[in-house]
Amino acid sequence: MRNLLLGICFFPLLCFSQDAEKKIKTLQLQIDSIENQKANIQGNIDELKLQKIREDLLDVGLPELKTGEEIIAHSAYSLVYSEQHEQAKWVAHIIIPDIINGKTSRSNDFREDSLIKTGSAIEIDYGLKSLNPDKKDEYIYDWFGFDRGHLAPSADFRWSKKAVSESFYYSNMSPQLDKFNREKWADLEGLLRGYVYDHPETQLYVVTGPLLNDSLAKIERGVNKVSIPNYFYKVALDLKNKKAIAFIMPNAAIPYPLSSYAVTINEVEEVTGINFFYQLADSLEGILERQKNIADWVPEKQKDDVDPVYPPSLPPRTFNTVMAKQFMGTNKNVNIIGTVVSGRTSSKGNLMFNLDKKYPNNIFTVFILKRNIINFTYDPLEEWLGKQITLKGTISDFSGKPAMTIEKEEAVKISPNGKMMLVIGDE
């Protein structure tokens, strides 16, 4: 009887609570099991995607090897290493549409590449680190003046934790000035990812590398004396849509827009001696490697953008929209030439125009205050758009970019038929 009483719950709510708690734990274990299964399945899917990338690289994406060269194949990219320069001669990878929803962040686990038989560059080739005496477990870094610049960028692999991590091998690094690596080079990487965002049905074959030669300076403080490239190249191929483009950019702070550095793949082949996409049919390869249409690669809202006037083509005593920056705040009257790519009326009734590049990539802005619109015998919003104009005035600072405020019609000359003109007025 005593045992029977012990089995009877005198507090039904408590008994129910204990029973519910057990059921919750059981269900939670089921959920955890399902999540583990999902993670395992997703891992298998990712491995298959990585396998397909390697197969596609072998079929299309790898440049032709030269005598003595060896392919170093990682999960999502392959390279040929130059022992002389302690960096890759080229790195080939593929940007797939999975980056659109990829959420893997930078791993920053820079490390030696064990697949390089002669040994890759290492951390102390780029800088030294020491423990901070004031903060335990914190390091103080003494870099040797260069970023460890990715050739195949980690963000191109953010759908795969494994691929992101492997992008931090030193075989995938090259010395880049911070103003280059973090600005225009990063913009170029973003441009190609943006292309995949806009074309989610395709994948992009990319080959990147430094222009290497025997006369390059080296990081002398480093152990392996890594060469410092003066230029970098990047070639891109959308095989599905039959589009291709290439870029050659100086390892420097770059004032001009990316479009100024667009070239054909043929031009990169000429300066590097590398035969890209050689496995394509000759007729198709010939067509693709002659392309250089930057409008195919930029977002829709940037398709009307144009390059600033090439400096050697400028009329006497006239400057393009990039060169205008040097006159910000000088109070000097200068002639600036550019193409009006956008115009609008602000909420205060002022007119605003962008020359050569639209917002948010704008590089030069023109203002006509509301009170001065009466000084024009025509409507600038109608007359200027799409035309090349030359302005005379002083350059002000508009959010860190050059701008000019025009007060009267005489300070503006519209190029006839879009052709360049002589400079305006007096010195």
Domain that holds residue 265: 47-299
Same domain, 104 and 137: yes
On whether both 227 and 318 belong to a single domain, the answer is no
8 A C-beta contact, residue 171 and residue 117: no
Q: Which of 299, 320, 350 is the C-terminal boundary of a domain?
A: 299
In a domain, 201, yes or no: yes
Question: CATH number, domain at 401?
Answer: 2.40.50.140
397 pLDDT more than 90: yes
Amino acid residing at 2:
R
**Tens digits of residue pLDDT in 357-375:** 999 889 999 999 999 999 9
- 227 & 84 share domain: yes
What is the domain count for the chain? 2
The CATH code of the domain that includes 246 is 3.40.570.10
Flag whether 324 is in a domain. Answer: yes
270 and 388 in one domain? no
Could you report the per-residue pLDDT of 88-120, keeping only the tens digit for each?
A: 999 999 999 999 999 999 999 999 999 999 999
Give the residue, 423 or 319, on which the prediction is more confident: 319
Q: Does 305 fall in a domain?
A: no
Burial readout 106-137 (b: 16 or more C-beta within 10 A, e: otherwise) = eeeeeeebeebeeebbbbebbbeeeeeeeeee
Residue 8 has pLDDT above 70, yes or no: no
- What pLDDT is attached to residue 4? 47
- Helix or strand (DSSP H, E) at 270: helix 265-272
Q: Write the pLDDT tens digit of every residue in 70-81.
A: 999 999 999 999
Is 35 a member of any domain?
no
Is 7 among the domain residues? Answer: no
Residue 12 has what pLDDT?
Answer: 60
- Looking at the structure, do residues 226 and 359 belong to the same domain, yes or no? no
249 and 288 part of one domain = yes
351 DSSP β-pair partners: 345, 368
The domain boundary, picked from 253, 274, 299, lies at 299
262 and 373 inside one domain:
no
Which pLDDT score is estimated for 14?
57
In a domain, 21, yes or no: no
160 Ramachandran zone, left/alpha/beta (phi>0; psi -120 to 50): beta
Note whether 243 and 342 are same-domain residues.
no
User: So what's the pLDDT on residue 204?
Assistant: 98
In degrees rounded to 5, what are phi and psi of residue 117? -60, -35
Domain boundary among the residues 269, 299, 329 is at 299
Nearest to 353, CA basis, from 369, 330, 377: 369
